[in-house]
Every structure is written in structure tokens, then in C-alpha cells.
Amino acid sequence: MNNQSLKHLATLAITLLSLLGSSIAFSSDIEGDIETGRSKAVVCNHCHKDNNDSSIPKIAGQHENYLVKQMLAYRDGQRKDEIMETIISRLKHQDDIYDLAAYFSSLPVALNTDLAKKQNPLGHEVFNDKVHCYQCHGVKGDGNPLAEPIIPSIAGQNKDYIIKRLMEFQSQNAHQSQSNPMSEVAKQLDIVDIFSVSEYVSGMQPEAP
């Protein structure tokens, strides 16, 4: 067997292993149980439900498969946050992740009433005209759970969390940017754009789950 054939077989093997790994890591066919998730969410609620810290993301009403994928990313070291990595590492079974995702996705999203009344005009311009956020996240900011990669709902998300994430995307290096389109989008924004679009998105009316 010549070198070209060996390279071809190696490529096929790597592709097959990648596909198998993906199917093991995440399956959209697995459904979590809402009530079981509710009983497991006591620790999660301290930050994501009962806390008024706006730098922590709202996850109530978020797409279920997006929540699963993010928790798996923390578990596998693909996304970094010391607190989240510690909490996810304590989950004994992968079913715990699916149950928690089912529970939080079933909850209504709380509207940021004050920001909803303002509707920041510069934020509207950034969202719709400058970087066309609506093309992926939707006119109402409700995302797309069927897209690949999954596009999260951002309507009504905490303003400070959006600011933090956009600044994190801006600081990504070239290698990270290639695998994350949000990095290229964020790098087109100045600090005023970031604050304005974050306020605008935070004031959007979320869709009911």
C-alpha cells in the first residue's frame, strides 16, 4: 500500500472517529425530563434564577439543545469558567445535563422592563444595519435551535453579560476567530457600539418557550 493510500485511510479513520465522538458527546434525540431537572437545579438556581447579578446569563427559556451543548463544552474543557467547570464536573451522569437543559428551557424569560421601554436607537442600528445580527439571531433575537452551530436566543439577555461576551469575542486570537463567527462580528464594533447593542438586545421582548 503506497503512502497516498495510507494518508487516505488515515483521513477516513479520523473523520469516522470524529463523527462517532460527536454522536457520543451530543445527541439531539435525547430528551431530558423537566421535573427531574427541577429537582437537580438547586445549585444552578443560586446564580441563574435567584441572583440579580446581570453579568450572569439568563438561561430560562433558552433553546434546550443549546444549553446541552454549552454544558458539554464546559465538561470537555472547550469553554472556560472555573465555577461552571466545577459544577458540571460534579454531575454524575450525562442524563443530568439533559434534565437540567429541559428544565431551564421550559421556564419563561423575564422581561427587562426598563430597557424594553428605551429601545436604544444606536443599538437598533448596530443590530440591524452595521453587523446584521438579525441574520443569525432573528429579527426578534430568538435564535435558531435547528442551525449548525446552534444559534442561541439573545432577546432579553442580561446587558452586562452581553457586553462581557462581546468583549471576550473581540479578544480572541486568529485561530479562535476562525472557528467562531461571533469573533469577526465583535471586532467590527467599538465600545459605544457594544454598550448600545447590548442594551438594545437586553430590552427585546423574548418569545415564550
d(CA 57, CA 165): 10
User: What is the CATH code for 28-105?
Assistant: 1.10.760.10
Q: Tell me whether the CATH fold assigned to 28-105 matches the one assigned to 113-202.
A: yes
Contact 65, 145 (CB under 8 A): yes
Q: What pTM was estimated for this model as a whole?
A: 0.80
Looking at the domain 113-202, which fold is it?
A: Cytochrome Bc1 Complex; Chain D, domain 2 (1.10.760)
The 10s digit of each residue's pLDDT in 72-109 is 999 999 898 999 999 999 998 999 999 999 999 999 88
DSSP 8-state symbol, 102? H
> Which residues is 152 bridged to in the sheet?
none
d(CA 156, CA 139): 13
Look at residue 181 in the predicted model and tell me its pLDDT.
87
The 10s digit of each residue's pLDDT in 12-64 is 333 333 333 333 345 556 689 999 999 999 999 989 987 678 899 999 999 99
Residues contacting residue 69 through CB under 8 Å, at least 6 positions apart: 26, 149, 150
> Which residues is 144 bridged to in the sheet?
151
* Banded pLDDT at 11 (limits 50, 70, 90): very low
What end-to-end distance do the CA atoms of the chain give, in Å? 56
Domain segments of the chain as ranges:
28-105, 113-202
The 10s digit of each residue's pLDDT in 115-161 is 666 778 999 999 999 999 999 999 999 999 999 889 999 999 999 99
